Amino acid sequence: MPRAACPKCGFNNPGGRNVCELCGTATRAEGADGATAAASVGRRDFYTEQTSNSRRSMVLLACFVLLVVAVAWVLGELGGLGPAGLLLGLAFGSIGAVSAYYSGDRMVLAASHATEVGADREPVLHNVVEELCLAAGLTKPRLYVIESEAPNAFATGRDPQHASVAVTRGLLRKMSREELQGVLAHEMSHVRNLDVRFATLVGVLVGTVALMCDWFWRSWRFRRGSRSTGSAGALFLILAVLLAALAPVASVLIQMAISRRRELLADATGVELTRNPHALASALRRIAADPQGLEVANRATQHLYIVNPLKASGMDSSALFSTHPPIEARIRILESMT
């Protein structure tokens, strides 16, 4: 089926859809004679974008929780654990999350070969961040530089009091001050919106689903039909098999959708801090077009960066498993803001 580009953000939606999957804009409208015509697109402010993306993030999270509850209930009933299946799944899924929550930022910074820099070494970087901290009412984060010519940046830390922002040498060299401010405002917005904490919660749910489904498959050989006898038991077993097979994929899809929403939310919040959407749009365009590769990035850290650093590996940024929305869509949304 042919795909139709959204008139606002440019995202290629499946043919026949009347609302853009990415930005929610009406893509087609019915005329008086029943013919369809492209809908007119009005300009939106950053408050509208923030509200929309926050709401959709919470809807996705609610769907995720329902998926976890459904998997835990079905597998727990089949295995004779009942509601205890949900509690056990959440308990095991939380173990790794607690470790990541308190030490994940240090591991990410070390893996990225980031070096902390003071105001004496990078005065412009510190000055811009201090301005943004005043605008956002945040504690100044620790600042790091990655010695790579590929322009990029990321933020990490469980809360504003334990936040760190890392930028590459290429970002400092290749961006104007306004573009640098736009990028750093985006990263400070991740800190302000508690996105690392949000991602940790989502990670707990993904881990919980994976553990429960793995438990189901490993214990398959030991099942002796106490709950799988009769037509009702057979249907219950079929439902459990379908959930165990599809739930891990569905959980990752929801996780990626949430990640894309939080990126759009950080874009809108960054504009609130700077009141300059065109600076961030220009920075995104230049980062995406830069030919340099970021060697220290990998699949475990790609979601942290403002632009996916693995774009050169041929990944489709509009795919369902992408951590970031398409760059073209982000730029068009920013340029439509007032």
Residue-wise burial string across 151-188, b where 16 or more C-beta atoms lie within 10 A, e elsewhere: bbbbbbbbebeebbbbbbebbbebbeeebbbbbbbbbb
For residue 103, count CB atoms less than 10 angstroms from its CB and return exposed for 0-12, middle for 13-18, buried for 19 or more.
Answer: exposed
Residue 149 known to be catalytic: no
Query: How far apart are the C-alpha atoms of 53 and 330, rounded to whole Å?
Result: 13
Angle at 164 between CA 180 and CA 170, to 5 degrees: 35
Q: CA torsion sign, 289 to 290 to 292 to 295?
A: negative
Out of 49, 122, 179, 187, the active site residue is 187
Report d(CA 163, CA 104) in Å as an integer.
11
Q: Which residues contact 314 (CB under 8 A, 6 or more apart)?
A: none
> How many Cβ atoms are within 10 Å of 50's Cβ, its own excluded?
20
* Contact status, residue 44 vs residue 336, Cβ threshold 8 Å: yes
Output the DSSP codes for 193-256.
Answer: TTHHHHHHHHHHHHHHHHHHHHHHHHTGGG--STTT-HHHHHHHHHHHHHHHHHHHHHHHHHHH
Q: Which H or E run includes 146?
A: strand 142-146
Are 324 and 258 in contact, with CB atoms under 8 Å apart? no
Cα–Cα distance for residue pair 308/330, rounded to 1 Å: 13
Active-site residue list: 187
